[in-house]
Amino acid sequence: MEQSVTSLGISYFTERGLFLKKHTITAVLITVALTVSGFNCVPYTQASDTSTLSIIRRIDTKGTGGLIHSRYIDEDGEEVSIETHSSKTGSRRRAAALPSSYDSREYDLVTPIRNQGVTGSCWSFAAIKALESDSIRQALVSLNTADFSESHLVWYAYDPLSDITDSLYGDCLTDSSDPDSYYNLGGNAYIASFILANWWGVVSESAAPFSAGSSQELKQMVSDMSQKPDTFRTQSELHLKEVNFYDTDDIAGIKKAVMEHGSVDISLYFDSSNMYHDDTVTSAYEHKRTADDANHCVTIIGWDDIFNQYSREAPGKGAWLIAGSYGENYKYSTNGYYWVSYYDTSLCEACTFEAEPADRYDTNFQYDGIGWGNMFYDSSDISFANIFTNDTDNACSIGAAGFYTYTDDQPYQIQVYRHITGTRPTSGTLISQCTTSGTAKHAGYHTVSLTTPAAIATGESFSLVMTYYAGNGNQVYVPIEGSNDSSTLATYHSSTGQSFLYTDGKWMDNTSCTIGHKTYNMNNVCLKALGNKISGTEYDAVDNWKNTEAPSSASPSATPAQTGSAAPVPSAVSSPDPAASHTPAISRTPAVSPAPAASSSAAPSGSASTSPSSSSAPSDPSVSDTQTSAKSGTVTVKLKKKTIRIKKGRSKKLPIIVTPSGSYRKLTFQSKNKRIASVNKKGKVKAKKKGTTKITIRLPNGKKKTIKVIVMRAARKKAK
């Protein structure tokens, strides 16, 4: 956001505290011990050398005016990058099937323009507006009643818990010592999703008004929130169900998201010198800055494929209709709205926020209070789990899991174990009828209903076990809280016996996670169990502890990869959602939908199919036929993008999918002009000099693929 409304030049205009997570990660596979800057992470040895388990760490830095950026490092201590959201090839061509122009305001799906005033809270305004539009679209609220509090979201993102008995106690953003600064510390869509996934909000605007037109009004708002009881934190009129991220190149996908949800949260670089403004229209096209420079969050509420009116010529026609958050009379807008070119190079973090009724579930078993900061990654399947204890006064019916994914099209399986008696999450009894499989179509946060609820008695310990499958040559990324150090602006708290990772044929406690010769406290995995309190009579009626399997062995159930020569990816199917009764205004396939696990018999078309686990002893998910096929199968390469842009001095992994998994070593890479960009044997491109070159990928069969690489100049450092 801006330092002042009247001074918006590049040197002065900064988004105070926009917390921008970089959308790129590199999966670097290594088989030797590496020690860089004290970060020693050695992959464990498996039957095949094509798969390794490693940790990716987040590094947070503050920029000018409090702008916070996040980047990630691998075992080499280098910044790493691949696209996390699969690029939809031909999106502009497919966009022809959609209207050439669209405006959600014409369907009464957009709430009025709000005003963030003198604060750096645009990230909250963008997320709340997106959630308001979705709630109207689902008929959960009306246009007249959809007015949720941005203040509540900002305040509890930074105000630490005081109740030491709360399972989320100790998880907080580290800049939480001065309440006067909360509204200028910033955030982004990720932070918004972390807080809302805790069920901290949303509440109505009247319960926590946002008023910051002046410094005095801001001080009064801080005073008002400081006097709220801590129980106000968990008040919610609606709960977060989904957050789904989209590649900003996927124009058709974003258009569909706008039509389905009413609006889309997005980040960009805002600079008044790029603005075109006359009596009827305001527009922007940024062509020098990239996502690394983004300093503002807004919402997309529509588009126009033929719009082409900017202060400088854009590469093509078409623009997004943007709703801002500086009031209807903001100088650089038309009644609070303006247009941004499809080709704006700074666009990033496009996502939707989807709500569900607050009474859908009334109990949230969770340990992750501020989301994820690090990730485990591997080229093989990864299983992780949480053990919870029902410490409520009632029995509970566990009906859903809440979890995060960092990549698109992530196949998963959810299992529930009851009556946990040991130190492993599988030391109880597997409730096979609860096992649920599917594919998370987008990166983000997901709430998935179990095929059958699990009845949990008061005082009983149970576990939620989740497996992410490595299909189609993709890496598997498991978001976790991560370690506490000065590199991240979040602090995490955990206890032994809560979170676990399955690796090297055994379960490890996440607080003492050994990878190679180094042991880390990675705190909790990000996995929630959602349910409803039930009476004793209801418990007896649904108690699925009876007539089920004997206690399980130590490892998760067999993975889909063990039923064939290659790991199949469960296909998403359109299925009725239990929450559908609350959304009469919409009929659409959920972004995360239950899908049949791999088997010899397919489920009927259009049905929701789940796969009960076999009663035989579960096997190691880290050993699958995928590794064998990498040695004998035909190697194929699919391009996620045909062109990539990299800033000078940065590195990026080529956006390709290699099948079978682990076949990178069979490929060769060559740069046409190494002075502009070089490429190593792992497909990692290093940008050296401004210009354009091509990277050639040679397959074992002699075929070639090429990717265009555009090296952009590095961002200029601002004068201090």
What is the domain-level CATH number for residue 660? 2.60.40.1080
**Rounded to an integer, what distance in angstroms lies between the CA atom of residue 197 and that of residue 269?**
27
Per-residue pLDDT of 382-417, as tens digits, reads 999 999 999 999 999 999 999 999 999 999 999 999
Provide the pLDDT for residue 61.
Answer: 64
Contacts of 233 (CB under 8 A, 6+ apart): 156, 159, 161, 200
CATH classification at residue 189: 3.90.70.10
Closest CA to 243 of 69, 372, 62: 372
Closest CA to 705 of 678, 668, 660, 659: 668
Residue type, 176: S
Per-residue pLDDT of 325-338, as tens digits, reads 999 999 999 999 99
**Residue at 335 is within a domain:** yes
**Residue at 359 is within a domain:** no
Distance of CA 76 to the CA centre of its chain: 25
Residue pointed to by tokens 């559908």: 580
**Residue at 368 is within a domain:** no
Question: H-helix or E-strand containing 216?
Answer: helix 215-226
Q: State which of 293, 323, 353 marks the end of a domain.
A: 353
How many beta carbons lie within 10 A of that of residue 521, not counting itself? 16
Closest CA to 473 of 258, 305, 626: 626
Provide the pLDDT for residue 471.
Answer: 73
Closest CA to 26 of 89, 68, 76, 69: 76
Structure tokens at 164: 């030491």
Q: Are residues 99 and 248 in the same domain?
A: yes
Provide the pLDDT for residue 171.
Answer: 81
Q: Are residues 296 and 148 in the same domain?
A: yes
Question: Is the Cα dihedral 509, 511, 513, 518 positive or negative?
Answer: negative
SS3 of 90-101:
CHHHHHHHCCCE
Contact indicator for 494, 481 with CB cutoff of 8 Å: yes
Q: State which of 585, 602, 627 marks the end of a domain.
A: 627
Provide the pLDDT for residue 599.
Answer: 32
Contact indicator for 47, 376 with CB cutoff of 8 Å: no
**Residue at 6 is within a domain:** no
> Between vectors from CA 467 to CA 594 and to CA 656, what angle results, nearest 5°?
85
Provide the pLDDT for residue 715.
Answer: 56
Q: Are residues 463 and 558 in the same domain?
A: yes
The list of the chain residues with pLDDT below 70 reads 1-51, 60-69, 75-76, 80-96, 176, 472-473, 486-488, 545-633, 661-662, 715-720
**Residue at 718 is within a domain:** no
Structure tokens at 607: 């049905």
With the CA atoms of 577, 578, 581 and 583 taken in that order, what torsion angle do they form, in degrees rounded to the nearest 10? -50
**Rounded to an integer, what distance in angstroms lies between the CA atom of residue 320 and that of residue 304?**
7
The b-or-e profile of 286-309 (16+ CB within 10 A means b, else e) is: bbebbbbbbbbbbbbbbbbbebbb
Contact indicator for 301, 266 with CB cutoff of 8 Å: no
Provide the pLDDT for residue 284.
Answer: 96
**Residue at 358 is within a domain:** no
**Rounded to an integer, what distance in angstroms lies between the CA atom of residue 17 and that of residue 183?**
9
Domain span at 704: 633-712
| Count of domains observed in the chain | 4
Q: State which of 603, 627, 651 marks the end of a domain.
A: 627
Q: Are residues 645 and 560 in the same domain?
A: no
Q: Are residues 336 and 402 in the same domain?
A: no
The three-class DSSP label of residue 531 is: strand
**Residue at 719 is within a domain:** no
Q: Are residues 592 and 531 in the same domain?
A: yes
Distance between terminal CA atoms of the chain? 18
Contact indicator for 447, 400 with CB cutoff of 8 Å: yes
Q: Are residues 378 and 427 in the same domain?
A: yes
**Rounded to an integer, what distance in angstroms lies between the CA atom of residue 463 and that of residue 545?**
13
One-character DSSP codes across 101-135: EEEGGGGT--PPP-B-TTSS-HHHHHHHHHHHHHH
Q: Are residues 606 and 459 in the same domain?
A: yes
Structure tokens at 429: 């009894």
Q: Are residues 604 and 640 in the same domain?
A: no
Closest CA to 353 of 268, 265, 238, 267: 265
The three-class DSSP label of residue 258 is: helix
DSSP at 51: -
Q: Are residues 697 and 667 in the same domain?
A: yes
**Residue at 238 is within a domain:** yes
Q: Are residues 684 and 589 in the same domain?
A: no
Distance of CA 168 to the CA centre of its chain: 20
**Rounded to an integer, what distance in angstroms lies between the CA atom of residue 630 and that of residue 473?**
9
Name the E strands within 139-295. 172-173, 238-246, 264-268, 275-277, 282-284
Structure tokens at 300: 């997309």
Q: Are residues 648 and 587 in the same domain?
A: no
Per-residue pLDDT of 453-474, as tens digits, reads 999 999 999 999 999 999 766 7
